[in-house]
């Protein structure tokens, strides 16, 4: 990856495309690339949907190579949801393909002069951009079908649905999977709205005629990759639990721990959890059968294979296997215990181009406001249909939980910096509470996944109900996560590298074998710290202070059953997270 593709929508005679050398961005990938470009080129106080914001799409440092698990992609910008810096992460095929085409980043900038919609085509000969208003207000599934008819069965797509065109705060960017389905999403922070503000509906990637990116030291790389894969396969989480039951294996675990946010974060246990658990989901998928039913990868080169494919009772494809956060958001958080209904909602989110976490949290807030009843799956579906139609109510809901709560006068709105909390109640998993409060991204479980030590005993053990040890836990995980996000590696490798020092070393050897560098564990830590410092500096310039690194007041006052605990990590301690 030796170049950047820059698409300026404010060109004097229309959109302009140019390819440029990496310059100051040499050696960067994934989140390191997106956050560095945003920090250097985007005015922190700009309007997130204005011409001065930029959308940066970057494969990881190892993407496009034979390295296992290296096909994740980062999407960065100033977030219209949080007002701060954002990196949203996704699987799918585009990361590997963009990297093999030689691009370390695609940067969308400026703003179109009118409401014309564009499609971008990138292949080994370069990139072109063309107006195509026939794509307006298509859902991601119909859009991809249309692109396949035009460009064939081997391209991949990066696209937005109706929500992105409407520039809604919950809008995602979709990435097609190995079957050319728009099931993988950079969901969080409203990145789809920023793509919509640039007037770009879809980016089509064709890597025909390209080859796998070669390592600098093939023998070292091959040996490290083999050891790395062996480490992933021997760990009980990455080698057994996730492949067998998917990410939804966590439902019973978190519910039994009393940390499963239920009916808009009112209690920590859901009586219907067993009906929507990973075990129940795997049993249902296996009984229905179908290609890739209960075990499937989100991109080529994935060896954990924690995803799957959900078919209805008649054997028709519905969606990818709904992930844990999606099942929680549209399930327990809304009082719904029907996997078929949850899968249908997941399909709608993907089609409209919406973050499932944000929409599940929003619908629960709407249920608290009386727009539907908890447990009413059809009511939830009707609310989501409003978003797809773009009605006034739909636009409110599609703007996320914070906006919906303000409109309907609801206090219990589980957001930090305007972004909804995921599927772990911070009162009962306090390390996650620290991450939610302090991450640069708004409430985000992937920013520092303290569930590892709080509930799973991975990388040590820290009592989830006590404030002790949570600051250090979250701090270390946030640093490590930022570095992993830069490589293009799946975050789930963290389970193995936290428990198995030899697997962590094989990851470092893998990076060194590929790049020709001589990194140490300390260098990886330094990279994570550098990324976080850039992000923190951007947010400070955008107006964020330590007062924004806080959870909603009700979580400090309202005890969560069954443990009857509040979030009691002090403000003073929260302010120490980034004291590196």
Please give the full DSSP string across 171-220, using - where no structure is assigned.
B-EEE--TTS-S-EEE-GGGHHHHHHHTTEEEEEE--TT--PPPPSSHHH
pLDDT at 301 over 90: no
pLDDT at 298 over 80: no
Distance CA 387, CA 87 (A): 24
Question: Do 401 and 432 fall into the same domain?
Answer: no
Strand partners, 311: 317
pLDDT at 297 over 80: no
The tally of domains found in the chain comes to 3
| CATH assignment of the domain containing 262 | 1.10.569.10
Q: Is residue 351 part of a domain?
A: yes
pLDDT at 292 over 90: no
Q: Which residue has the higher pLDDT, 194 or 282?
A: 194
Question: Do 563 and 506 fall into the same domain?
Answer: yes
pLDDT tens-digit map of 36-50: 999 999 999 999 999
| CATH assignment of the domain containing 227 | 1.10.599.10
**Domain boundary pick from 423, 441, 472:** 423
Distances (CA, A) of 365 to 149, 172, 217, 362, 451: 40, 20, 53, 5, 25
Distance CA 303, CA 21 (A): 33
Single out the residue of 383, 318, 333 nearest to residue 354, CA to CA.
383
| 74 phi, psi to nearest 5 deg | -110, 140
pLDDT tens-digit map of 361-401: 999 999 999 999 999 999 999 999 999 999 999 999 999 99
Distances (CA, A) of 156 to 148, 540, 564: 9, 37, 48
DSSP H helical ranges for 338-391: 339-352, 356-368, 377-389
pLDDT tens-digit map of 213-244: 999 999 999 999 999 999 999 998 888 878 88
Q: Is residue 54 part of a domain?
A: yes
How big is the CA angle at 29 (ends 422 and 17), to the nearest 5 degrees? 105
Question: Do 445 and 551 fall into the same domain?
Answer: yes
pLDDT at 455 over 80: yes
- Least-confidence region, from 293-297, 410-414, 497-501, 517-521: 293-297
Strand partners, 320: 309
Q: Is residue 535 part of a domain?
A: yes
Question: Do 312 and 239 fall into the same domain?
Answer: no
Crossing angle (nearest 10°) for helices 356-368 and 339-352: 120
Question: Do 379 and 253 fall into the same domain?
Answer: yes
Single out the residue of 333, 398, 399, 420 nearest to residue 368, CA to CA.
333
Question: Do 397 and 478 fall into the same domain?
Answer: no
If 0-12 CB within 10 Å is exposed, 13-18 middle and 19+ buried, where does residue 408 land? middle
Strand order in the sheet with 118-123: 126-131, 118-123, 200-205, 156-159, 173-175, 184-186
Distance CA 7, CA 9 (A): 6
Residues 6 or more apart from 148 whose CB is under 8 A from it?
A: 155, 180
Distance CA 158, CA 144 (A): 9
Q: Is residue 124 part of a domain?
A: yes
Q: Is residue 524 part of a domain?
A: yes
| pLDDT confidence of residue 4 | 98
Distance CA 246, CA 248 (A): 5
pLDDT at 251 over 90: yes
Q: Is residue 456 part of a domain?
A: yes
**Domain boundary pick from 205, 231, 262:** 205
Distance CA 444, CA 279 (A): 25
Distances (CA, A) of 373 to 78, 139, 303, 365, 506: 35, 27, 41, 11, 51
| pLDDT confidence of residue 294 | 66
Strand partners, 86: 77
Question: Do 67 and 185 fall into the same domain?
Answer: yes
Distance CA 286, CA 290 (A): 8
Single out the residue of 404, 408, 435, 432 nearest to residue 418, CA to CA.
404
Q: By the 8 A CB rule, do 418 and 82 touch?
A: yes
Query: What is the domain range of residue 300?
Result: 248-423
Q: By the 8 A CB rule, do 560 and 425 touch?
A: yes
pLDDT at 300 over 80: no
Question: Do 530 and 390 fall into the same domain?
Answer: no
Question: Do 20 and 112 fall into the same domain?
Answer: yes
Residues 6 or more apart from 351 whose CB is under 8 A from it?
A: 139, 140, 141, 161, 182, 388
Burial 442-467 (b: 16+ CB within 10 A, else e): bbbbbbbbbbbbbbbebbeebebeeb
**Domain boundary pick from 423, 455, 481:** 423
Query: Across residues 495-517, what is the average pLDDT?
Result: 94
- Least-confidence region, from 100-104, 111-115, 304-308, 329-333: 304-308
Strand partners, 131: 118
Distance CA 491, CA 359 (A): 23
Mean of pLDDT over the chain: 96
What is the Cα Rg of the chain in Å?
A: 22
Q: Is residue 210 part of a domain?
A: no
Full-model pTM: 0.97
| CATH assignment of the domain containing 61 | 3.60.9.10
Q: Is 33 helix (H, G, I), strand (E, B) or coil?
A: helix
Query: Across residues 287-299, what is the average pLDDT?
Result: 76
Q: How many CB atoms lie within 10 A of CB 15?
A: 23
Question: Do 238 and 270 fall into the same domain?
Answer: no
**Residue recorded with tokens 């260098």:** 523
Enter the DSSP assignment of 415: E
Question: Do 315 and 456 fall into the same domain?
Answer: no
Q: Is 525 helix (H, G, I), strand (E, B) or coil?
A: helix
pLDDT at 153 over 80: yes
Query: Across residues 417-445, what is the average pLDDT?
Result: 98
Enter the DSSP assignment of 239: I
Q: By the 8 A CB rule, do 487 and 62 touch?
A: yes
Question: Do 228 and 252 fall into the same domain?
Answer: no
Enter the DSSP assignment of 359: H
Q: Is residue 507 part of a domain?
A: yes
Measure the CA dihedral 253/256/262/268, to 10°: -120
Crossing angle (nearest 10°) for helices 470-487 and 521-541: 100
| pLDDT confidence of residue 290 | 80
């Amino acid at each position: 990856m030796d170049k950047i593709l820059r698409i300026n929508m404010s060109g004097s005679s229309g959109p302009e495309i140019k390819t440029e050398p990496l310059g100051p961005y040499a050696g960067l990938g994934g989140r390191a690339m997106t956050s560095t470009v945003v920090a250097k080129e985007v005015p922190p106080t700009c309007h997130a949907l204005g011409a001065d914001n930029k959308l940066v799409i970057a494969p990881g440092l190892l993407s496009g190579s034979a390295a296992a698990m290296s096909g994740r992609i980062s999407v960065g910008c100033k977030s219209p949801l949080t007002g701060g810096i954002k990196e949203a992460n996704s699987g799918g095929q585009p990361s590997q393909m963009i990297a093999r085409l030689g691009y370390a980043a695609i940067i969308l900038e400026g703003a179109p002069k009118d409401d014309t919609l564009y499609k971008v085509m990138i292949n080994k000969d370069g990139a072109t951009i063309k107006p195509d208003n026939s794509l307006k207000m298509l859902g991601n599934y119909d859009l991809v079908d249309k692109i396949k008819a035009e460009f064939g069965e081997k391209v991949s797509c990066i696209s937005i649905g109706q929500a992105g065109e409407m520039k809604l705060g919950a809008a995602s960017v979709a990435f097609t999977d190995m079957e050319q389905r728009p099931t993988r999403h950079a969901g969080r922070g409203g990145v789809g709205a920023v793509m919509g503000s640039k007037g770009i509906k879809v980016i089509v990637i064709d890597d025909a005629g390209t080859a796998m990116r070669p390592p600098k030291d093939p023998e070292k790389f091959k040996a490290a990759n083999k050891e790395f894969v062996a480490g992933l396969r021997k760990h009980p989480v990455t080698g057994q639990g996730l492949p067998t039951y998917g990410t939804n294996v966590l439902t019973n675990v978190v519910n039994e721990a009393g940390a499963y946010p239920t009916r808009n974060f009112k209690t920590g246990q859901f009586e219907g959890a067993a009906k929507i658990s990973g075990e129940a989901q795997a049993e249902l998928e296996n009984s229905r059968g179908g290609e890739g039913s209960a075990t499937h990868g989100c991109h080529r080169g994935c060896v954990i294979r924690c995803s799957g494919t959900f078919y209805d009772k008649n054997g028709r494809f519905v969606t990818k296997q709904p992930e844990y956060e999606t099942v929680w958001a549209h399930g327990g958080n809304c009082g719904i215990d029907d996997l078929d209904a949850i899968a249908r909602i997941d399909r709608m989110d993907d089609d409209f181009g919406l973050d499932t976490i944000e929409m599940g949290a929003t619908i629960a807030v709407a249920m608290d406001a009386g727009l539907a009843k908890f447990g009413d799956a059809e009511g939830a579906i009707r609310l989501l249909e409003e978003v797809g139609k773009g009605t006034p109510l739909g636009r409110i809901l599609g703007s996320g939980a914070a906006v919906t709560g303000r409109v309907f006068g609801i206090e219990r709105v589980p957001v930090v910096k305007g972004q909804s909390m995921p599927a772990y109640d911070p009162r009962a998993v306090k390390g996650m509470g620290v991450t939610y409060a302090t991450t640069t991204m708004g409430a985000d479980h992937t920013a520092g996944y303290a569930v590892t030590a709080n509930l799973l005993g991975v990388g040590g053990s820290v009592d989830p109900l006590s404030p002790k040890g949570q600051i250090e836990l979250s701090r270390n995980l946030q640093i490590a996560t930022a570095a992993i996000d830069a490589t293009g590696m799946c975050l789930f490798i963290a389970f193995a590298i936290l428990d198995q020092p030899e697997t962590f070393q094989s990851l470092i050897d893998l990076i060194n074998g590929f790049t020709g560098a001589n990194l140490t564990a300390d260098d990886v830590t330094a990279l994570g710290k550098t990324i976080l410092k850039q992000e923190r500096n951007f947010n400070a310039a955008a107006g964020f202070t330590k007062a924004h690194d806080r959870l909603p007041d009700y979580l400090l006052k309202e005890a969560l059953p069954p443990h009857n605990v509040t979030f009691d990590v002090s403000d003073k301690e929260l302010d120490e997270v980034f004291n590196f």
